[in-house]
Every structure is written in C-alpha cells, then in structure tokens.
Chains A and B, each alone.
Chain A
C-alpha cells in the first residue's frame, strides 16, 4: 500500500510538468514586471488557461546566454534589449519569428506595417519603446527652469550635481547633443575618433559634478534626496515618481535616448508553442495599449497609440508622458544596436579609462 502510494506520488510528480500548460517569462522586475503581469499575463491566462510564471532578472540577456550555453534552458520568453536580441540571434541562440504570423492591427493593417521602424527583427518582436530622459528637481532652481540638453551641461546657470549612468552608451550621445550635434548625426560623429574626443571633452566640463549611477532606481533616489539637481533617468521610473509619488520633478524630452525592449524565445525553450502563443498575444494592439495604463512606456505598434488612455489612477492622461509623443520625438536619438555591437567593448574601455583618470 505504502509503496503504491510512493509510486503514484512519484508518477504524479513526473507527469505534472508535462501536462500542465505553462510558460516561463523572464523580465526586468519592478514596476515594469507588474505592468506586464496586468496587461499580458492575466488576460493570457484567462483566455488560454496557460499559467504564466514571471521571473525577474537584472538583465534577462545574461541568464539567457548562460542557459543556452549550459544547454539547460528554463525560460520560454525573455524580455531583452535590442542589441542583445541582435547579438544572440546572430549567435544562433534564438528561435526565428516570422513577422507575418503576428496578429494584424484591428483595422487590418499587417503587423509588418503596424510596428514602428526597427521593432521587428529576425528573432525578436518589440513590445515597448522607452526613453532615457533628463529630469530635474523643480525645487532646486529659482527663476528659469532648464529646458534642454545644453542646460544639463551648464552648471553655472543651473547649479548642482548631475546624475549620469556609468556607461558610454547613455552618456556620450548626450555630450554630443549638448555640444550642438544634431540627433541624426550622433552615430556618424561617435564613429570617428574626433567625435569620440569631442564627446569626452564635453563630458570633461562637468566631470567633477557628476554622480554616477548604475541601477535604474538610483537616479530617482538621488533626485529625491537632493543629491543631484538634474539627472538622466528612464522615463517610466521618473513618471512613477512624479505621478504615483507626487515628487516635484519635471522631464526634459530634448536629447531623449530611445530604446526598445524585445520579446525573444531561446532555442530549446521547454514550452515553445505556449511561448509563441504568449508572444503573439502580448504584442497585439490591445495588449500593448493596455500596458501604458500601468507604466509610461510607449507601445511598439502604431495602432496602439490611439487606444492609450488614462493612467491607473484614472485621471492622468498618458499620451504626453509617452516617449513616442510628438514633443518627445523632436530631438530624440534612436538606439543603434549595430553600432553598439561593434563599439561597445572599445568605448567601454575608453570610458572606464577616462573615469579612472581623475
């Protein structure tokens, strides 16, 4: 009797993962993860009966690479940055996704037309567009408020420390914009030695006033503590502080750095079909628009823009807080993953050498 019990328990335990429909999604945690749970996971589970497990990672590309290399893939869908999506796709770690198989917009526009430029790759589909923007503490400046990237580098008129991320990708472009380079020419400039010199020379002018941050939560904290008067910050985080916590912050869209987040499926995923279903479901027009209700990131589909409504507090209009709004796009630099795949290592070394030489 006892052995039968043990045997049946063991069998049930073995059978469970095979029959239970589930999909493991690895994402970035925090408010962002919450928005995905509300906008994608809950309706997906309701509609299909498939359980969605959310796993948080500092940068989901790192566990993805580790899992593929170790031959033990446990995640089905990963939410990663564009440069990592391209790199991992070229290295053969990801499943190819046919853009024609993605659901069309409600008005019948094919997915290939509906997504913004660069949102569909061989192995990846974008879900959101997010920006790194300048933000300042309104209590820190009497008189004129700063309005541009130039003001960010002007510590005479706008005193106080500045917050910048400790990496070349999100600092060098801002230096060039502030030095008068047009957003469209930033990568041409960074591709030349003179352009890199120019960016570092501009950074030199505020080097002693910079507090370097690493994690996305830090700049918001620095701004709230009054440790810096102005900082660059991810737009979703600063929106959260401004609207949900009522902090006296303001956003400058000039010199915005735009990025996308991508859904990818690794080769060898444990539940490939469920993963593909989830990916198609989560990137349809309604779901992307729904996500904007919980976090200030722009949907990667054009057809979602009109469906973006109010924030979950029921009173804040989301459209002007979107990194894809017309004002925000005026002087925005779009991330160039090819450029960074080529130059990330080199410029990182340069950047760290520059940091260390004080």
Chain B
C-alpha cells in the first residue's frame, strides 16, 4: 500500500503478499469507495430533481388515500372516549357477564364523555354496528351529566332498559379496540351475532355484494361495447388521409372536452319517455303513445350514457397503435393467399392488441369507479357501488364504511390488474 501511495501514476497496486489488490485512485483512496461517492452524488442530484414531484405525490395522493383507507379498519370513536370500560373489556374474556366494576366503569365513562361533548361520537360508533343505539348514548349522556349514584347497574337500567341487552355489550366489546374488521364485514353483507360469530345480515338488508357484482358486470359490458363501437372508428381514423381523419378526430374529441354533466343531461333529453327518441318513434308510428320505451332511469340508461362517455378512452389508444401498423403486412398476407378475414384476424388484429389492452384497462377502471352518471340516469337498477360510497360519505357520514367499500373496490381492481398482467402482460400496454 505504501509503495502505491508513492507512485501517483499507479492505478493498480499490489500488496506485499501478492494477493489480489484493492483498486485505488491516484490519491490513494479505494476506487470502489470513490466511485460510490461520485455516483451517490449523482444519485442525490437526481433525487433532488424528482423530490418535488415525490413530495407532491406523497402529500396529495399517498397520504390522503392512506388516511382514508386507515379509517376502514381503525375507528377509535368508542375506545378513545370510553377508556375505563374499554380497559374492562381488555381484561375480561369475550362473553363475560358485566360485573359491578364494568357498570361503574361504564357510568364513569358516560359521564366523562357527556361532559366532554364526545358522547355523540361514541353513540355514532356503536350505532354503526347496532342500529338505534345512538340516541341511547346521547339521551343517557344528558341524564348522567346531572349526576349518577351507585349502584350503577340499577341506575343505568333505570334510565334505559336497553343497557342490559347482551347484544349491546357484545357490540361495545368489539368497538373497545380501535382496530376493527366490522366495516369490512358489513361491506360484504356480514355482521357479528351475540356470540361474536360472523353471520350474514338479514336478507332485506343485503345490498353490497349485489352491487359489487353488478358494478363489475356492467363495467365489463361497457368495456365490450366501447370496443365494438370504438374499433371500427379507430380503424377508420387510422387509415383515412390525414385531412379527413383530423376532421373526424375532432368529432371524437369534442364530446371528450364537453362537461360530463352536460353530456349526461343531454342523454336525459334524448332518452326519457317524453324525450326526442320516443317522440320520433311515436311520430313514425313504430310505437303507440302509450307504449313509450323506458330507456333511462334504469340499467339501460346507465349503460348507454357511460358507453358514450367512456368511448374516447377506447378510441384514442387504439388509434395511436393502429397508426403505427404498417399496411404492407396485410397486403403481404393477402398476396400470399389469405382471405381478407384471415388477414385481419391473424395479421392485423394481433398488432392492435397493445392498444386494445390499454383502452380496455382505462375504460374498465374508470367505469368501476363511476358515480355521477349512474346517480343521475341509473334509477334503481342502474346503481353502482360508488353510489353507496357516496351515500356513506355525504348522507350517513359513516366514513369508515365508505373507506371499507372503497378499499374493497381498489383491492378488486388491483387483483384484476394483476390477472391482466399475468395473462396479457402490462409491458404490452400502449397508451399512445
């Protein structure tokens, strides 16, 4: 090492023993370390360049979505405001009949929570799992604020007999830890019974599984329809001379640039029973005035309006891929004896697959999360799961439930994406 340090020109130095030497730089530092340092400097600079974008994505995307998803399994509305009785639940096994200590803890927590004006949060949390209990908490809270004397069990039962309900205690026990699976259970039409077992909710309240299924089924159908309608248009756009295709392209893009609400309401004007299409059909005498077709405020309305709105998302990727397909391939196939159908099927169509994959993916994922169009034109049979998420966000204000439904939807889309990757390969995707 010492020799090498003396010779400034030595790039490679050997040790006295002759063993493979470490590479050093001219000033004697190990080459690997120097290289790493200069590379890490470059990396740091590169990182600094992308740091604003990274921070932007973190702040506006990852953090809020993460916080929202956290609500789906974390709700401390009960545990944070009812610490003593939560502690009692933690110490005793499930199914324990509440003893004097439990009743005393409950009374103390209710009083403290009512004083702190957090009793509504507690009641709301329990009401999610057991309907009709919110007012039990708030009305009891108002009474215990004026003071409560032992024995607490009798005093609370005096205020409302429902405090003795074992179901209530079982629900309070499950809410006594902030982390809960109840919202996910409710999202798949399941609940817990008194024993804590998972059971289906009564038949007349089962709704979410039906809607999940309908959402995916309708989204698939809409994707297929946009393909059937969009493929010929994209082909025409790609093969016409530039001037004509540009004109046609504007026709595709114009609705794309028009407000979603305007397009949705236009469909109402066209499709409703007293609307343009029905008027024309009646005028032509195809249907009688009494047999006007119901084409909106049902599933049909949702399918028509969404297919139209999502069509550009299929056409544009298809078009961009079709433009790059060399027409001589098909000509070669024809000259080698293929029929036009065979040439299309075996030569042309396979080359459009990357665009088709991208278009189908875009349309399907957008359709799965669609909300405003089905809300306006869907009636009762055209509702999608996103309408339930919106209901829990704005009407019932049960954000944990909305988050759980959204998380399941997100999970399902990710699974489909993974399947797509396995079957087709995401590398084959071409967005433009």
Contacts and interface: CB of A to CB of B under 8 A. Distances in A.
Interface stretch (B8-16, B19-27, B131-139, B342-350): B131-139
A86 B138 CA distance: 10
A211 interface: yes
A356 B209 CA distance: 11
B124 A344 contact: no
A342 B134 contact: yes
Contacts of A356: 207, 210-211, 214, 380-381, 383
A214 B297 contact: no
Nearest to B141: A90
A208 B231 CA distance: 37
Interface in A148-174: 161, 166-167
B393 A345 contact: no
B370 interface: no
B31 interface: no
B121 interface: yes
A243 to B, nearest CB: 24
Contacts of A210: 380
Given A89-B120, A225-B272, A342-B134, A352 B383 contact: yes
Nearest to B401: A345
Interface string B117-134: 111110110011001111
A222 to B, nearest CB: 8
Contacts of A343: 131-132
B60 interface: no
Nearest to A87: B120
Interface stretch (A31-39, A55-63, A249-257, A303-311): A55-63
Interface in B362-392: 375-376, 379-381, 383, 388, 391
B114 to A, nearest CB: 9
Contact of A341 (B135, B211, B214, B391): B135
A349 B383 contact: no
A353 B383 contact: no
A225 B381 contact: no
B123 A349 contact: no
Q: Which of B211, B214, B381, B395 has the most CB of A within 10 A?
A: B395
A341 B275 CA distance: 40
Interface string A81-95: 000101111111000
B398 interface: yes
A42 interface: no
B394 interface: yes
B243 interface: no
Contacts of B375: 214
A26 to B, nearest CB: 14
Interface string B232-252: 000000000000000000000
A345 B383 contact: no
B393 A62 contact: yes
Contacts of A341: 127, 134-135, 138
Contact of B388 (A211, A346, A352): A352
A19 to B, nearest CB: 31
Nearest to B273: A227
A59 B394 contact: yes
B274 A214 contact: no
Given A92-B120, A211-B297, A354 B204 contact: yes
A57 to B, nearest CB: 10
Interface in A313-358: 338-339, 341-346, 348-350, 352-356, 358
Nearest to A90: B120
Contacts of B214: 356
A92 B131 contact: no
B396 A350 contact: no
A211 B379 contact: yes
Contact of B133 (A207, A339, A342): A342
B118 A345 contact: no
Interface in A197-233: 207, 210-212, 214, 225-227
A211 B295 CA distance: 12
A90 B122 CA distance: 9
B205 interface: yes
A355 B274 CA distance: 24
Q: Which of B133, B135, B275, B383 has the most CB of A within 10 A?
A: B135
Nearest to A160: B273
Given A341-B134, A350-B205, A355-B383, A92 B116 contact: yes
B131 A346 contact: yes
A51 interface: no
Q: Which of B128, B207, B398 has the most CB of A within 10 A?
A: B207
Contacts of B123: 90
B168 to A, nearest CB: 13
Interface in B51-94: none
Contact of B376 (A62, A161, A214): A214
Contact of A346 (B116, B132, B394): B132
A92 B118 contact: yes
A348 B138 contact: no
B124 A212 contact: no
A85 to B, nearest CB: 11
Contacts of B395: 167, 344, 348
Given A349-B207, A356-B211, A356-B380, A92 B121 contact: yes
28 contacts: A58-B394, A61-B397, A84-B397, A90-B117, A90-B120, A90-B121, A91-B117, A92-B116, A92-B117, A92-B120, A161-B273, A211-B379, A212-B380, A214-B376, A225-B275, A338-B135, A342-B132, A344-B395, A345-B131, A348-B395, A349-B207, A350-B204, A352-B391, A356-B207, A356-B210, A356-B211, A356-B381, A356-B383
Given A161-B273, A355-B380, 17 more contacts: A58-B394, A59-B394, A90-B119, A92-B117, A212-B297, A212-B379, A227-B273, A342-B127, A343-B131, A343-B132, A345-B398, A348-B391, A349-B207, A353-B207, A353-B210, A356-B211, A358-B381
- Nearest 8 Cβ contacts at the A-B interface: A90-B120, A346-B131, A92-B117, A355-B380, A353-B207, A91-B120, A226-B274, A342-B132
